[in-house]
Amino acid sequence: MTESKNSTKILFTDLDGTLLNDQKQICPENRKAIDRALAAGHKIVITTGRPLVSAQKLSQELGLTSEGCYSISFNGGIIYDCYKERVIFEQTLPHEDVRKLMNEAQKAGIHAQTYSDTCVIAEKPNEDFDRYASIIHIDKKIVPDVLKELGTKRPPKVLMIADHKRLEQFRLDTQSWREGKIDAIFSCANYLEFLPYGVSKGNALKILCNLLCLPLSASIAAGDEQNDISMIQTAHIGAVMKNASDQMKTYGNYITLHDNNHGAIAEIIERFMLSSSF
């Protein structure tokens, strides 16, 4: 039986290290629990730093395309209704900021990439670029000028890939000119993402709840990395994965008993979505 509107809950779940196991698959326990949550009238939101085209493919592969399924991609830059197949919110970077970031990365010897509607684009070949495209199963393209390739499109983010120490220094070196315009956040140790000011998974969580007329008290978020902190702190229940770092666990009000390889999302769904006690 579908629950009444005022009991609808919404789960925002990160992908890698959270919903997906180490083989980038969804385990049977998670799959069954998600199906039960959707059947009960709840909502499931894939929340990722990946580009929209990758989130769309994953939603289809995971079968998360029914009513009540949404995706947040680019760490909050785009909100997409997987059932109606349409973008319902988007925030992007101006071309001049994209060019500035690409130029500064080139000076620092750091790989930089951005995104068209269909693929990830960069101006120089790079092993990290190839590896990234392979991992998230997205087409890649080397172009002479990313702005010419983008045309009138403005991308939601620019991503830098390098060792953590160099990226941390780059973040500090660029802080003065991008303050109040562009935020920088690590999605993992070797990925530094540059986003429009104020864009985050947490902000997207608030926007989607508002669009769906759901109170924040109905929200649950699950994640394991730095780019998940904002949504973990924004949601009523902020669940941090057992497999996350000890530092990450300080940001949540719930730590899962299971890790991403053993049905932690199923645990969260059973406890906070399907249980009458929440």
State the DSSP code for 4.
P
Which domains can be identified in the chain, with CATH numbers?
Answer: 5-91+199-272 (3.40.50.1000), 95-196 (3.30.1240.10)
pLDDT(96) > 70: yes
- pLDDT for res 277: 63
Interval 100-155: pLDDT, tens? 999 999 999 999 999 999 999 999 999 999 999 998 889 999 999 999 999 999 99
Q: Which tokens hold the place of 236?
A: 């009523």
User: What radius of gyration, in Å, describes the C-alpha atoms of the chain?
Assistant: 18
pTM of the model: 0.90
d(CA 179, CA 62): 38
d(CA 252, CA 242): 11
Interval 223-246: pLDDT, tens? 999 889 999 999 999 999 999 999
